[in-house]
């Protein structure tokens, strides 16, 4: 069963009612509505920093060509246009893998500092083994090493920064539990920005903290144990594997 449509305008009005003593039929002032919209999109950017409040993970598939080393994620209006724009900027990568003829090749997520401080086996072409994620403000860049010597399907599984909302957009793309938390989070900041700080009561704060704890509870936590992989980067693994 699909979720009922709720516009950003209606959603922000509901947020406003938490800190307003007016009748529910009272329209939110235009200035307050603009402030609420800015808070909404600011929180989206903030949550993508730690990704703790981005609880929904997705899989994105991409066809990577021969010799291609970099894949970028971002919004379609960014210049130059990123390679993948369907989900926005990659905020957190859980895992990545290649697929060819029904065979899956997992990629090792290597830290950028360790990758660039290691001796890397030449030539930079063959079966990719590593992925290095370089997050940016507007675009996230993923480097594949070595560059592929043939065409693969490259799959990413992780969290993506949500697109900025406009006033007439549909909020139903967010899970209902996310909407409920967001409603309180926006009202909390809106109370301060509109001079209604006294309207944010201890009861509202208690509800906000419980909803925040629930959000953290459903956010996946990576418990992988990373071993020393430096000897793999310098090519020793190729000798052992006979590549």
Q: What is the pLDDT of residues 28-50, one digit of tens each?
A: 889 999 999 999 999 988 888 88
Q: Give burial (CB, 10 Å; 0-12/13-18/19+) of 180.
A: middle
Between CA 47 and CA 230 the distance in angstroms is 32
The DSSP secondary structure of 31-64, one letter per residue, reads: HHHHHHHHHHHHHHHHHHHH-TT----EEEEEEE
**Model confidence, pTM:** 0.78
First-to-last alpha carbon distance for the chain, in angstroms, is 51
Q: List the structure tokens of 112.
A: 């950028």
The pLDDT score that the predictor gives to residue 112 is 84
Domains of the chain, by residue range, sit at 8-53+162-217, 58-161
The pLDDT score that the predictor gives to residue 205 is 96
Question: What's phi and psi for 72, nearest 5 deg?
Answer: -115, 150
* Cα radius of gyration (the chain): 22
Helix (H) or strand (E) holding 183: helix 176-193
**Cβ contacts of residue 126 below 8 Å, gap of 6+?**
146, 148, 149, 243
Helix (H) or strand (E) holding 188: helix 176-193
- Could you tell me the mean pLDDT of each successive run of 10 residues in the chain, 243 residues long? 78 91 74 94 88 86 95 91 92 94 93 77 77 91 93 95 91 87 94 90 95 84 50 49 44
Q: What is the pLDDT of residues 139-164, one digit of tens each?
A: 999 999 999 999 999 999 999 988 88
Q: Is 219 in contact with 52 (CB distance < 8 Å)? A: yes
């Amino acid at each position: 069963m699909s979720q009922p449509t709720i516009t950003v305008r209606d959603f922000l009005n509901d947020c406003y009612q938490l800190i307003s003593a007016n009748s529910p039929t009272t329209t939110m002032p235009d200035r307050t509505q603009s402030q609420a919209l800015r808070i909404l999109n600011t929180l989206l950017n903030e949550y993508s920093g730690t990704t703790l409040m981005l609880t929904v993970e997705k899989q994105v598939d991409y066809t990577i060509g021969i010799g291609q080393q970099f894949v970028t994620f971002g919004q379609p209006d960014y210049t130059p246009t990123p390679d993948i724009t369907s989900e926005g900027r990659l905020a957190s990568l859980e895992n990545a893998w290649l697929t060819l003829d029904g065979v899956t090749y997992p990629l090792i997520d290597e830290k950028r500092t360790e990758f660039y401080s290691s001796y890397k086996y030449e030539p930079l072409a063959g079966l990719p083994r590593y992925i290095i994620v370089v997050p940016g403000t507007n675009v996230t860049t993923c480097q594949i090493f070595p560059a592929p010597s043939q065409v693969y399907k490259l799959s990413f599984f992780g969290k993506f920064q949500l697109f900025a909302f406009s006033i007439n957009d549909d909020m139903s793309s967010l899970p209902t539990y996310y909407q409920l938390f967001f409603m309180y989070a926006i009202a909390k900041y809106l109370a301060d920005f509109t001079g209604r700080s006294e309207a944010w009561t201890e009861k509202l704060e208690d509800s906000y903290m419980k909803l925040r704890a629930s959000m953290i509870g459903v956010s996946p936590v990576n418990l992988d144990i990373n071993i020393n992989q430096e000897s793999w980067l310098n090519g020793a693994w190729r000798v052992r594997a006979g590549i």
